A and B are shown apart, each in its own frame.
With several copies, the nearest count.
Chain A
Amino acid sequence: MISFHKNQKSAGSNADCDLDLRVTIAGVTLDNPVTTASGTFSAKESGAFYDINELGAVITKGVSLEPWDGNPTPRIAEAYGGMLNAVGLQNPGVDAFIRDELPYLKSFKTKVIVNVAGKTKDEYCRAVEKLSETDADMLEINISCPNIKEGGISFGADTAMAADITKAVKRISTKPILMKLTPNVTDIAEIARVVEAEGADGISLINTLLGMKIDIYKKKPVLWNRMGGLSGPVVKPVAVRMVYQVRRAVKIPVIGLGGIMTGEDAVEFFMAGADVISIGTAALVDPQAPVRIKRELIDFMKNNGYKNLQEIRDALL
């Protein structure tokens, strides 16, 4: 299911140099392995800072069946070396997304992976059904969302629920399905195994770590929602560990993310076993991060004699 392209002269978009950055996951070939993490990319806004064609794929912010307002503000707090967010998956709903945003995204040669959120299995399925009829290239199912029918426990925090939701969306989808896992679990490898068993075409990880910050002078949590998702450089060691564990637990492709700020960070994820990487928080604090990181990845490969991504993935001793 994963196939890296061995170096070929004048390959893809990197004809100018000797490198092949292409990667194929679930039958879809990305020009390069750099993608945007869900919720940290907005086509018009991010596109003001770089050419979207430079990306292997964009992963959209989460879309749900109905429009969601998300949480009241404050939604953002700073943490040491990272940030907390409690945006709460604000989005215009899948219909508006398909109508207003998808066509623009599809005007680039970059692949489009649509991230899907839901509060019930049914909501996920109906959104997936609608997206199946579009020209989206792939879907990423964010199962960190709380299951409101099960007392708000996150779909991705429970093996049975994670399996169930995977099976359900796979039955409906005509698109390859990536399951995006939450790191707030005891055994990430177990969750990965069950979603693979239920037919997932790939796994993205990690979503944010659940955290909290208290303003000791105002005497209240900084975020309206009290808790929020920790992201940024601080989560990288946890993310690398989980990518490493999942890579050794399943055969399907892995999208690795969590705190990637530089090309070297990206390489660390490839060595841990990622096939593709996503840039999240880095793009918030440096709008050009995705293209910078891609350039730094290329530089690393040139300086260290790697010709394609598979060589990096095979490098770990």
Chain B
Amino acid sequence: MTGVAPGILESKILGNEQIAREIYRMTLEYEGGENEIKPGQFVNLYLNDKSMILPRPVSICKVENNRLTLVYRVVGKGTEALSSYAPGDSIRVSTPLGNGYDVTDIARRLGTECTKTIVLAAGGLGVPPMIELAKSLRKAIAGTTDIPHAADSVNEAAPFLTVDMAAANKKLIAVIGFQDEVFLSEELEQYCDSVLVATDNGSRGFHGNVLELIKTAGDPGDYYLACGPKPMLKAVADYCVEKDIPIQVSLEERMGCGYGACVGCTCKIKEENDTEVPFKLKKVCKDGPVFRGNEVVWDD
């Protein structure tokens, strides 16, 4: 973040409204802006309640004009407390943490003809980081191609939004799954060519899970970017590995510090080119949360 040293900032809450059952969207005044964050990074939220001293890691959903958007589910005491904070209140929030999705790698591949369709595969609380990711990818596509704007209508403020994806022969598809209630799908539609929705109970969209929907949709995609519950991530990663499609996944683990000091949040990574050891222990917070799907050793 240009000018903002790593640390904890006092931030003003601009909004904190419920957008679905147990799901809240919090917007924060945030020093630094979109250029300083990478999609897939997260922030630590610090609670006012002094009986809960550990920070709560929450993925960056969107950054725009010094406004940070986070979307979270109330699952315990901490997120319950969060949901009671009101606009105008101040909250302590860390500067962005972790390594996000490797957009450079994708941009590079987008430059070639082989990579045409990018799939964002997300389940539940894995959906929020897809917003900023989709925006970044859309920008990357606009940057790597030299193509006209759809219907000659340039969005001056955000020209990348009106790039003619079809003309460029590129596609950004989101496949998102939920237990029941759907959220953020309209937001994603802003940036994606299509947004496919699945629900576990069939209450909306496809009745089934994300991977089933991907298959039903005809196995699209030359590159996958995934976020969500571990079983879903593993399933999608296995699917990609089998088809030899590159995939990046964002992992989750219980954290102490969120910045790499406590070694609380390890995962097992088997680097492609490392033949010496069965795996290395990496820190989800610092080395991740995003890893190459083919390198993750999924145990249990």
Give me the interface of A with B, judged by CB distance under 8 Å: 39-42, 44-46, 48-49, 61, 69-70, 72-78, 80-83, 85, 87, 90, 222, 232-233, 281, 283-288
Q: Which of A44, A73, A82 sits near B253, CB closer than 8 Å?
A: A73
Query: How far does the Cβ of A172 sit from chain B's closest Cβ, in whole Å?
Result: 27
Indicate if B255 sits at the interface (CB-CB under 8 A). Answer: yes
Given contacts A76-B262, A90-B266, contact A81 B256 (CB under 8 A): no
B263 touches A87 (CB 8 A): yes
Which B residues lie within 8 Å of A288 (CB)? 7-8
Q: How far is the CA of A43 from the CA of B157 in the complex (A)?
A: 42
Given contacts A69-B281, A73-B266, A76-B254, contact A285 B46 (CB under 8 A): yes
Q: Which of A39, A233, A281 sits near B263, CB closer than 8 Å?
A: A39
What residue in chain A is nearest B56 (Cβ atoms)? A78
Which B residues lie within 8 Å of A74 (CB)? 253-254
List residues 218-276 of chain B with CB under 8 A from any CB of chain A: 253-257, 259-267
Which B residues lie within 8 Å of A46 (CB)? 259, 261
B53 touches A78 (CB 8 A): yes
Indicate if B196 sits at the interface (CB-CB under 8 A). Answer: no
* Interface secondary structure of B, over-half rule: loop
B264 touches A233 (CB 8 A): no
A284 touches B253 (CB 8 A): no
Which A residues lie within 8 Å of B46 (CB)? 285
Query: How far does the Cβ of B182 sit from chain A's closest Cβ, in whole Å?
Result: 25
Q: Which of A49, A76, A287 sits near B264, CB closer than 8 Å?
A: A76
A78 touches B253 (CB 8 A): no
Give me the interface of B with A, judged by CB distance under 8 Å: 5-8, 46, 50-55, 253-257, 259-267, 281, 286, 299
Q: Which of A41, A81, A87, A287 sits near B53, CB closer than 8 Å?
A: A81
Q: Which of A70, A81, A85, A222 sits near B51, CB closer than 8 Å?
A: A81
Q: How far is the CA of A72 from the CA of B5 in the complex (A)?
A: 33
Query: How far does the Cβ of A55 sit from chain B's closest Cβ, in whole Å?
Result: 14
Query: How far does the Cβ of B79 sit from chain A's closest Cβ, in whole Å?
Result: 13
What residue in chain B is nearest A45 (Cβ atoms)? B260
Query: How far does the Cβ of B8 sit from chain A's closest Cβ, in whole Å?
Result: 6
Which B residues lie within 8 Å of A287 (CB)? 6-8, 257, 259, 261
Q: How far is the CA of A72 from the CA of B264 in the complex (A)?
A: 10
* Interface secondary structure of A, over-half rule: loop
Q: How far is the CA of A80 from the CA of B53 in the complex (A)?
A: 8
A44 touches B263 (CB 8 A): no
Q: Which of A42, A48, A76, A233 sits near B255, CB closer than 8 Å?
A: A76
B261 touches A45 (CB 8 A): yes
A42 touches B261 (CB 8 A): yes
Given contacts A45-B286, A232-B53, A288-B7, contact A85 B254 (CB under 8 A): no
Which B residues lie within 8 Å of A87 (CB)? 262-264
Q: Which of A40, A45, A75, A80 sits near B266, CB closer than 8 Å?
A: A75
Which B residues lie within 8 Å of A83 (CB)? 53-54, 256
Q: How far is the CA of A283 from the CA of B281 in the complex (A)?
A: 22
Which of the listed residues B8, B50, B54, B55 has the most CB atoms from chain A within 10 Å of its own CB?
Answer: B54
A77 touches B254 (CB 8 A): yes
B54 touches A76 (CB 8 A): yes
Query: How far does the Cβ of A294 sit from chain B's closest Cβ, in whole Å?
Result: 16
A285 touches B261 (CB 8 A): no
Q: How far is the CA of A269 from the CA of B286 in the complex (A)?
A: 33
Which of the listed residues B253, B256, B266, B267 has the most CB atoms from chain A within 10 Å of its own CB?
Answer: B256
Q: How far is the CA of A288 from the CA of B259 in the complex (A)?
A: 12
Which B residues lie within 8 Å of A286 (CB)? 8
B261 touches A283 (CB 8 A): yes
Q: How far is the CA of A221 from the CA of B261 in the complex (A)?
A: 24
Which A residues lie within 8 Å of B55 (CB)? 285
What residue in chain A is nearest B299 (Cβ atoms)? A72
Q: How far is the CA of A242 from the CA of B254 in the complex (A)?
A: 24
Extra contacts besides A70-B281, A83-B53, A85-B262 (4): CB < 8 Å: A75-B254, A233-B51, A284-B257, A285-B54
Query: How far does the Cβ of A66 sit from chain B's closest Cβ, in whole Å?
Result: 13
Q: How far is the CA of A117 from the CA of B5 in the complex (A)?
A: 34
Q: How far is the CA of A154 from the CA of B286 in the complex (A)?
A: 32
Q: How far is the CA of A283 from the CA of B54 in the complex (A)?
A: 11
